[in-house]
Amino acid sequence: MKIFGIDPGSDRTGYGCIETDGSRHHIVVCGAIKTPALGTFPEKLLVIHTRLARLLADCRPDGVAIENLFHAVNVRSALKLGHARGVAMLAAVEAGVPIFEYTPAEIKRAVVGYGRAEKQQVQQLVKLILGLAEVPSPHDAADALAVAICHVNSQPQARVSAAMAMTAASPRGRAATSWRHYRPASAPVALRRGKPARP
List, by residue number, the catalytic residues. 7, 67, 140
Supply the DSSP symbol for 175. P
101 φ, ψ (degrees, to nearest 5)? -115, 140
Supply the DSSP symbol for 40. -
Burial 65-77 (b: 16+ CB within 10 A, else e): bbbebeeeeeeee
> Considering only CA atoms, which of 162, 155, 136 is closest in space to residue 65?
155
> Considering only CA atoms, which of 58, 10, 50 is closest in space to residue 30?
58
Cis amide linkage into residue 138, ω under 30° from 0: yes
* CA dist., res. 57 & res. 124, Å (int): 29
| Non-local CB neighbours of 164 within 8 Å, separated by 6+ positions | none
